[in-house]
Amino acid sequence: MIYESIIIGRGLIGSAAAKYISQSQKNVALIGPDEATALEQQIVFASHYDRARIQRIVGKDSVETLLNFLSARQHTELEKESNINYYVADGCLLVTPDDSDNYSSQYKEEAKKFDVDYQIFNDASQLKSFNAHFHFPDSAKGIYEPAPSGHINPRLLIKAQSEVFKKNGGEIFNNTVKEITYQNDAIKINCVDDETFYAKKVLLAPGSFVNFLNLLKNKLFLKVKSETTIWVKVNEQEAQRLSSLPGLLYKINEPEIQDIYLIRPLRYPDGNFYLKMGANLPNDIYFTSLQEIQEWFKNGHKKDNRPVLEKALKSILPYLLIEEIHEKRCIVCYTKHGKPYIGPIEKGLYVAAGGNGYAAMSSDALGKIAATLLLENRFPAEFSAKDFEPVFETEAV
């Protein structure tokens, strides 16, 4: 049997693309591994094994803002269609330690174009009167975006996209692809357990893993990086006390820590409440092989990053009643131009990968762009192929 289309990667972009492709095509499959319960069994990992991702609207430029805007607009409809609630519009606060990067003037222009509501804070005392729990240095500036900014549950967002995909007749396979080749007029997909699929068209959406195994002949220029977060266990009363905290992006830039993100305590599948905080750290690892990634997920850093993250957390939320802190490992990847790669690779084969640490909030629109490309060989009118053009290692000098 030859599928019309197969999407490889059941992550945030792949599941969105699969939904959109299945709206127009029959005979579509989505292949990717379930989240393993034991790390040892896992071959590839993902950026979505988590409970919360920040959704905001204004991005670095108009393309990013449009992607966020369109994706956020889909949440209500997708929740209704899938009967899965994954989105809470509880706002997002962006804080810079000072105004040195002139972020707020650029922000205002961008917000105006998209008619986004916001509130500006010019110093720490204004930030304090907005939310008394957070503490920032005196020179700090802030911008608050109310709803539709907020947070999404990435596992449930994928589930919601997949439910709609299945309703449309799509088939899901729990497998990991190890090789893509051509056979006659079809694309042959070989999985690690030797199960084989054939398709007329294939969309590669395996996130940080696109260059590993034998999915691509020519490797994409992609920086794949370890990401360390801390999950801070608090009791239910403490979670309740902090329930007014919006998602926080704190553009701190110090030698030992940069770019903090923090999401208030939420109830996780184990029944406990955890506040999550992550950041870029000097000992983040840039991976060059799948073995290095497997080693990182299974055994982590030699250096314990918790003390640095805990110190930063205590400066932001000094009165937080912590019960326990544990470290959680994740992975992100960065493209050459800062936008995901979406484009054709060779006959019938397309790619949509490279989240740059922000593709949960824009995944629905990214999936739609990839679906339009695969189905109609064009980009949606409001986007340009140039912005998403895949860059290969050999070209990236």
| Cα distance from N-terminal residue to C-terminal residue, the chain | 42
Footprint of ligand FAD on 273-292 (CB under 6 A): 278
Q: Rule CB under 6 A: choose which of 121, 261, 350, 388 binds ligand FAD.
A: 261
**Which residue matches tokens 């967002």?**
157
Kindly tell me which of 124 and 372 has the beta carbon lying closer to ligand FAD: 372
- Contact between 30 and ligand FAD by CB under 6 A: the answer reads no
Tokens of 190: 């070989």
Using CB atoms, what's the residue nearest to ligand FAD? 11
Rounded CA-CA distance 378/366 in Å is 14
Footprint of ligand FAD on 338-367 (CB under 6 A): 353, 355, 357-361, 363
Closest CA to 305 of 259, 256, 255, 253: 256
Is residue 236 exposed (0-12), middle (13-18) or buried (19+ Cβ within 10 Å)? exposed
Q: Rule CB under 6 A: choose which of 33, 91, 170, 246 binds ligand FAD.
A: 33
CB-CB neighbours of 44 under 10 Å: 23
- Contact between 265 and ligand FAD by CB under 6 A: the answer reads no
Tokens of 67: 């992607």
Kindly tell me which of 12 and 124 has the beta carbon lying closer to ligand FAD: 12
Alpha-carbon distances, residue 144 vs 141, 225, 263 (angstroms): 10, 29, 14
Number of residues that bind ligand FAD (CB under 6 A): 40
Footprint of ligand FAD on 76-105 (CB under 6 A): none
Footprint of ligand FAD on 134-193 (CB under 6 A): 154, 176-177
Q: Rule CB under 6 A: choose which of 47, 82, 96, 211 binds ligand FAD.
A: 47
Cβ distance 82 to 160 under 8 Å?
A: yes
**Which residue matches tokens 């109830």?**
267
What does the DSSP 8-state code read for residue 220?
Answer: B
282 Rama class: left (phi>0) / alpha (psi -120 to 50) / beta: alpha
- CA atoms 199, 195, 9, 182: torsion sign: negative
- Contact between 53 and ligand FAD by CB under 6 A: the answer reads yes
Q: Please state the closest distance from residue 253 (CB atom) to ligand FAD, in A.
A: 18
Q: Rule CB under 6 A: choose which of 7, 12, 30, 143 binds ligand FAD.
A: 12
Q: Rule CB under 6 A: choose which of 7, 30, 46, 84 binds ligand FAD.
A: 46
Instruction: Find the part of the chain contacting ligand FAD (CB under 6 A) among 18-26, 100-108, 165-173, 328-336.
Output: 328-336
Rounded CA-CA distance 181/187 in Å is 6
For ligand FAD, the binding residues (CB under 6 A) are 8-14, 31-33, 44, 46-48, 53-54, 154, 176-177, 205-207, 209, 213, 215, 227, 229, 261, 278, 330-332, 353, 355, 357-361, 363
